[in-house]
Amino acid sequence: MLKFGQLLTGNIHFYPVSDHLSKIYRKAYSKMAAEESKFDEVPLVYKVRSMDLADMGRKQLDLAEVEMPGLMECRKLYGESKPLVGANITGSLHMTIQTAALIETLSAMGAKVRWCSCNIFSTQDEAAAAIAEAETSAVFAWKGESLEEYWWCTNQALTWYNEQGEEDPSVGPNMIVDDGGDATLLVHEGAEWEKKFEADGSMPDPSTVDDPEMKQVYRIIRQELQKNPNKWRTIAENCVGVSEETTTGVHRLYTMAENNKLLFPAINVNDSVTKSKFDNLYGCKHSLPDGLMRATDVMIAGKQALVLGYGDVGKGCAAAMVHAGARTCISEVDPICALQACMEGISVVRLEDVVATADIFITATGNKGIIMVDDMAKMKNNAIVCNIGHFDNEIDMNGLENYPGIERIRIKPQVDRWVFPDGHGVIILAEGRLMNLGCATGHPSFVMSCSFTNQTLAQKSLWENRGTGKYDCAVYTLPKELDEEVARLHLAHLDARLTTLSSEQADYISVNVNGPYKPSAYRY
Ligand SMILES: NC(=O)c1ccc[n+]([C@@H]2O[C@H](COP(=O)([O-])OP(=O)(O)OC[C@H]3O[C@@H](n4cnc5c(N)ncnc54)[C@H](O)[C@@H]3O)[C@@H](O)[C@H]2O)c1
């Protein structure tokens, strides 16, 4: 068996650690654990790792704002008229510096905000502290939450208070910003259980579900049912809508809408062109290698990399690996995406073709069960296995944890080496959760400005159209005019000069001089 401090790169070397070194490691880890159990907290208002980080967070926010022209324009245009006054927004989205800029934009437009992260590892503690200090939002988020803490934070962000300081779901949230759909899920599951509870007194029992996340969801719903058996239904009735950030969350929403389960309108922000064709693609192109390098510092050039899934995220990941000099291949189920890869000169393979030779495996499918423990058992020593899709079920972490005789060695937070009984190990990043936010800080500000300008416009549209009948309990995308506007807001920052159509030219291609310039079926 390997112990702390054994050499972890190249072929297997067994370097037993001396007692002295072992003590040093133990000391370092217990110090880390002690740090991780400290918080700064004002009940109901914030719980963050440390308010001492607020100044660092604010300085990073100042830099980010320069790189986020779309959000800054929203503040300029709507900072005085404050179209979001009365909106009580709950956000469940990675609590990073860029998200802090979104929160402060919503706040500048008049909204009151409560926030949590949508991933246990993705919070930048300095960003959470800066927001707590500025009081632009209540915030419950820190890097390295347990699942219990994660769902506690989600519940805190979804729980609003009246002027007497009492918990009151009729106060809010009346809008939700979601990423992956966890806040939406809690409201919907809660509302379902309230109906069952009312009918026959039944309550969710965490011991009846295997999924550790659902156990926590059930725990929270059970706890809240006993306090207020109408909490989630009140929220659902008053909620003007949700704007959803990512592919996986949007997928959940369409499924709910098809099954007539959606309780309020939803705007699919992901499928704005200026979101998925930028954030998913160029964002991941930047933040995948960032995460890989911060986590492992491994030389990417020359290595064989397999990207599983060649959609928007996979295309960005594969491009990054190609540009970094990796011998890159992809796997796909969709013949169109597979053909696109071939046309880019990227080989399309099956996992089994390269499982024993590849050095870096990246899942980007939004699907489940992509790399199983039996695959990892066949990998090279110290193959890096990571996921950049939204949830943690692309890599079979459960299988890994339960593999007979396996040993987990923590290299550092969010980097573990799992050693099989034959002595070979695989390096797993962010415990199978999205590695670009777990091991790095997610996408850079400029691309997030595109995503979050869409979020801001979606929230504004939902709020301004409340009660008008414009939005039903269905999933909508933003109009192309707004998509083009988001792009336009970012051009000057890059010194781009658009050509203006003449009216004759506009007539000739059947568009308006001021756009939209493409029919809705156009795919970019
Ligand atoms: N980490 C991030 O910063 C980030 C950013 C955006 C999106 N996401 C998430 O990444 C995931 C992918 O998003 P996307 O926008 O690229 O989705 P997408 O639908 O464009 O691409 C996913 C691709 O995976 C393929 N696929 C499905 N099952 C497969 C399998 N078994 N083997 C191989 N390929 C398979 C699909 O055919 C599709 O082409 C989603 O979970 C999304 O929410 C993460």
- Dump pLDDT digits (tens) for 399-432: 999 999 999 999 999 999 999 999 999 999 999 9
156 Cβ inside 6 Å of ligand 1: no
Is residue 229 very low, low, confident or very high in pLDDT (cuts 50, 70, 90)?
very high
* Probe residue for ligand 1, chosen from 246, 391, 441 as the CB with the greatest number of ligand atoms within 8 Å: 246
Asked whether the beta carbons of 313 and 367 are under 8 A apart, the reply is no
For the cut 50, the answer to whether the pLDDT of residue 12 exceeds it is: no
pTM: 0.93
For the cut 50, the answer to whether the pLDDT of residue 90 exceeds it is: yes
The pLDDT score that the predictor gives to residue 117 is 98
Q: If you average pLDDT over residues 490-512, what whole number do you get?
A: 97
The pLDDT score that the predictor gives to residue 1 is 29
Query: In angstroms, rounded to a whole number, what is the distance separating the alpha carbons of residues 296 and 292?
Result: 6
Is residue 234 very low, low, confident or very high in pLDDT (cuts 50, 70, 90)?
very high
* For the CA of 314, the nearest atom of ligand 1: 16
441 Cβ inside 6 Å of ligand 1: no
The pLDDT score that the predictor gives to residue 37 is 73
337 Cβ inside 6 Å of ligand 1: yes
φ/ψ bin of 5: left (φ > 0), alpha (ψ from -120 to 50), beta (otherwise):
left
* For the CA of 313, the nearest atom of ligand 1: 16
Convert the pLDDT of each residue in 122-180 to its tens digit: 999 999 999 999 999 999 999 999 999 999 999 999 999 999 999 999 999 999 999 99
Asked whether the beta carbons of 278 and 272 are under 8 A apart, the reply is no
pLDDT above 70: percentage of residues in the chain = 93
Nearest residue (CA) to ligand 1, atom 27: 365
Question: Hey, what are 36's tokens?
Answer: 């991780």
* For the CA of 331, the nearest atom of ligand 1: 33
Residue of 107, 268, 451, 459 marked catalytic: 451
Query: In angstroms, rounded to a whole number, what is the distance separating the alpha carbons of residues 232 and 187?
Result: 5
Q: How far is the CA of 308 from the centre of ligand 1 (A)?
A: 9
| Among the listed residues 327, 306, 486, the one whose alpha carbon sits nearest the alpha carbon of residue 395 | 306
For the cut 60, the answer to whether the pLDDT of residue 503 exceeds it is: yes
pLDDT above 90: percentage of residues in the chain = 93
Question: Hey, what are 232's tokens?
Answer: 């989630």
98 Cβ inside 6 Å of ligand 1: no
List residues bridging with 371 in a β-sheet. 395
φ/ψ bin of 330: left (φ > 0), alpha (ψ from -120 to 50), beta (otherwise):
beta
Is residue 14 very low, low, confident or very high in pLDDT (cuts 50, 70, 90)?
very low
Mean confidence (pLDDT) of the chain? 94
The pLDDT score that the predictor gives to residue 29 is 56
For the cut 50, the answer to whether the pLDDT of residue 208 exceeds it is: yes
Q: If you average pLDDT over residues 267-293, what whole number do you get?
A: 98
For the cut 90, the answer to whether the pLDDT of residue 17 exceeds it is: no
Question: Hey, what are 524's tokens?
Answer: 């970019």
State the number of CA atoms in the 13 A half-sphere of 168 facing the CB.
Answer: 9
The pLDDT score that the predictor gives to residue 21 is 46
- Nearest 10 degrees: Cα torsion 79, 73, 452, 105: -20
For the cut 90, the answer to whether the pLDDT of residue 24 exceeds it is: no
Residue that wins the pLDDT comparison between 64 and 28? 64
What angle in degrees, to the nearest 10, is found between the helix axes of 445-464 and 69-78?
Answer: 30
Q: Would you call 20 exposed, middle or buried from its count of C-beta atoms within 10 A (0-12, 13-18, 19+)?
A: exposed
Query: In angstroms, rounded to a whole number, what is the distance separating the alpha carbons of residues 243 and 456?
Result: 9
For the cut 70, the answer to whether the pLDDT of residue 25 exceeds it is: no
Q: If you average pLDDT over residues 445-472, what whole number do you get?
A: 98
370 Cβ inside 6 Å of ligand 1: yes
Catalytic residue list contains 490: no
Query: In angstroms, rounded to a whole number, what is the distance separating the alpha carbons of residues 435 and 456?
Result: 26
User: In angstroms, how far is the first alpha carbon of the chain from the final one?
Assistant: 52
Residue of 88, 117, 119, 454 marked catalytic: 117
The pLDDT score that the predictor gives to residue 30 is 60
